[in-house]
Amino acid sequence: MAKRYGNLIGGKWITQGSKGTLENRNPANDREIVGIFPQSGIKEVNAAVSAAKKAFEKWRLVPAPKRGEIIKRAGDLMVKYKEELAKLETREMGKILDETRGDVQEGIDTAYYMAGEGRRMFGDTVPCELPNKTGFSIRQPVGVCGMITPWNFPMAIPTWKAFPALVCGNTVVIKPATDTPATVVRLGEILEEAGLPPGCFNIICGSGSGVGAPLCEHPDVRAISFTGSTNVGAQIAEVCGRLNKKVSLEMGGKNAQIVMDDADLDLALQGALWGAFGTSGQRCTATSRLILHKKIAKKFIAMLVKEASKLRVGNGLDAKTQMGPIVNESAMKGILEYIRIGKEEDKATLALGGKQLKRGNHAKGWFLEPTIFTGVTHKMRIFWEEIFGPVLSVIEVKSFDEAIERINQSHFGLSSSIYTRDVNRAFAAIRDIEAGITYINGPTIGAEIQLPFGGVKGTGNGHRESSHTVLDMFTEWKSVYVDFSGQLQRAQIDTE
């Protein structure tokens, strides 16, 4: 019998949902139910926000270093439970164990980094223009923060959002993705074990319309942090703009890797394979476009097709597997539709893959061959649109300048990569590529938590996750003036 999981509201686990239940199935074996979760609605959202609002009054007064110590203990527990968490993630969303271990490690790294921020959270102390007066700035918590997280990084992304919010003194109501709620539930259990007070971290399982929308609309939610599709992010931005809420959006990507004629081709090949087919291409930072200099294009394509054809596709729990399944049937249908579009686009050639795997070990899950299109031009839909699957479009260019032009021809601007031995080209690329992240001689995936994460254009709205910059999302600045002159001083009026 499948395990029953609950919402976490005010420190209590509640398995009943006002809208029934939802099943969480293993994408590598759709017949396996990982767990049964409450299908929630406005009733649960209201209860969770009320609990978070009540908890905020005490939590905000806990010294930030003490808040950091609790998050540090959560990181220690994640180290202890790392293998268990990785296996749960793989069962939920499919990616191979090496990748889910990395996902958990990113959560651990975030815990330790943000624990340290509890002793930092720097403000500015500056001289004032009048005598016997000083000025400084401090950070203060926002209040109740709503979080809507995706399925592809079910531990890393919730920790990116929740840990800094909590260290800053906020309380959290989080809606996990319907495909991966068990990992977030486990995170809630870990935070409880670490000593986080009841009501500081609340979990509401359910759909975007049933939970996400009322969470964004709730008048007591002061900030929303969202990772997901551009269309949904735009809707959330409209709601938060109307209600004057803080909002952080991390949305789509159509990332490209450039390989110049002077590149280390073996190294660039490994980067392309990992960037395009890691997590079955189901990453916002995945390499979706490969831009090759014409002088090396023919040779590189042959290398790429040969190596990609060898990738073992299967259950992520199998140590021999190199690429796991697509997350669900709906995602599979969407990717297959883009493959159909690619086949029909003028001049594009399906060089590898393109088919769903349905036999033998693949019969019970959602598996797709690694897929490569060559001859792609900037006039094609598969050049422009986010596919979010293991589909790579190869574009050929004649020069560095043309490569930069093509990489910037995108509605998105999250991650980017260039392989070259020319230091001048490398720094020109850093300057000219329109993206929040640029890798030199590395793939488009592999961000670390001590640097800002986020993008430009259709990828985001200017906020960043990770590093100290995320504190700007979860705090408000207060400027403080202390006048110890014993008389009225009128700032600029009295300086004349």
* 240 in active site: no
- Least Cα distance to 225 among 474, 443, 24, 447 occurs for 474
Task: For each of the domains in the chain, give its residue range(s) and CATH number, in order of start.
Answer: 7-251+460-479 (3.40.605.10), 255-440 (3.40.309.10)
Q: What are phi and psi of 368, to 5 degrees?
A: -135, 145
Q: Which two tokens stand for residue 464?
A: 């960043």
Q: How many helices (H) and strands (E) does the chain have?
A: 15, 23
Distance CA 7, CA 36 (A): 11
Q: Which parts of the chain have pLDDT scores under 50?
A: none
Other CB atoms within 10 Å distance of the CB of residue 412? 25
Report the amino acid identity of residue 65. Answer: P
From 205, 284, 345, 396, the catalytic residue = 284
> What pLDDT is attached to residue 190?
98
Quick: pLDDT tens for 448-480: 999 999 999 999 999 999 999 999 999 999 999
Residue 96 CB partners (closer than 8 Å, separation 6+): 90, 316, 321, 322, 323, 324
From 99, 106, 117, 250, the catalytic residue = 250
Quick: pLDDT tens for 333-388: 999 999 999 999 988 999 999 999 999 999 999 999 999 999 999 999 999 999 99
DSSP class of residue 208?
A: I
> What pLDDT is attached to residue 254?
98
Q: Which two tokens stand for residue 305?
A: 């097709």
Report the amino acid identity of residue 453. Answer: F
> What pLDDT is attached to residue 76?
98
Long-range contacts formed by 116-121: CB under 8 A, 24+ apart: 116/68, 117/68, 117/164, 117/167, 117/468, 117/471, 118/64, 118/65, 118/66, 118/67, 118/68, 118/69, 118/71, 118/167, 119/64, 119/65, 119/68, 120/468, 121/64, 121/168, 121/471, 121/475
* 284 in active site: yes
pTM of the predicted protein model: 0.96
To 5 degrees, how large is the angle CA 278–CA 157–CA 251?
75
Quick: pLDDT tens for 172-219: 999 999 999 999 999 999 999 999 999 999 999 999 999 999 999 999
- Least Cα distance to 171 among 285, 327, 57 occurs for 57
| H/E element, 99 | helix 97-117
Residue 465 CB partners (closer than 8 Å, separation 6+): 157, 160, 161, 225, 248, 250, 452, 453, 454, 473
CA–CA distances in Å: residue 343 to residues 12, 183, 229, 309, 455: 52, 37, 25, 19, 30
